Amino acid sequence: MPAHRIYLFKRFERFWHWSQALLVITLMLSGFRIHGLYRGVDFVSALRLHIYAAWALVLLWVFAVFWHFTSGEWRQYIPTLNNIRQVMRYYAWGIFLGEHHPYQVTAARKHNPLQRLAYLWVKLMINPIIWISGLVLLLFAYNWTTDISLQAVAWLHTAGAYMMLLFFVLHVYLTTTGATPLAHIKAMISGWESSEE
């Protein structure tokens, strides 16, 4: 099929995406150091970096939520089950058989049904777990007066972090499944993506 280029990702989307990626990677690496999974950075520096990156991510998300609602881009995340079986089948084995992707992106429909569900899971499950538990740890760690165990909140925060890590690994892997291994990454840098007509 002939391909054409679509301006898919606006400048703020690309800024938001890469800034968020950098901050999430920083949070994962500093969090793993806080948990003692590697050495090299002292605990206090890792904790301080983790807190600063967390607040920067919160600030970025405030701007992102404002932008999504004022631009109407929030509609891109409304879940749908239309053609989800075809998309799941494609990623399960169709991709390995050289089949064409059953979903064609447009500027109005950037995310396939599986992406919409994955992003919904991140926004409504993983992020709230991480943010709420992180805020509780940050704001109440030194003045703990409730019956909730601080250790349980810390484990919940860690569980959310591992869910985010799983999403991150799958997200990076799926960026390599375009027309070329770097096609989706180039699109998130330039804004332009090739699409079959």
34: nearest Cα among 48, 19, 16: 48
DSSP string, 50-66: HHHHHHHHHHHHHHHHH
pLDDT in tens, the chain (197 residues): 446 789 999 999 999 999 999 999 999 999 999 999 999 899 999 999 999 999 999 999 999 999 999 999 999 999 999 999 999 999 999 999 999 999 988 888 999 999 999 999 999 999 999 999 999 888 876 665 565 678 888 899 999 999 999 999 999 999 998 888 899 999 999 999 876 54
Long-range residue pairs from 146-149, CB within 8 A, at least 24 positions apart, any chain: none
Domain count within the chain: 1
The domain that holds 161 is classified in CATH as 1.20.950.20
In a 13 Å sphere around the CA of 145, the CA atoms on its Cβ side amount to 2
Give the domain extent around 11.
3-196
Name the 3-class secondary structure at 81.
coil
Angle, alpha carbons 187-193-196 (nearest 5°): 150
194: nearest Cα among 173, 12, 183, 14: 183
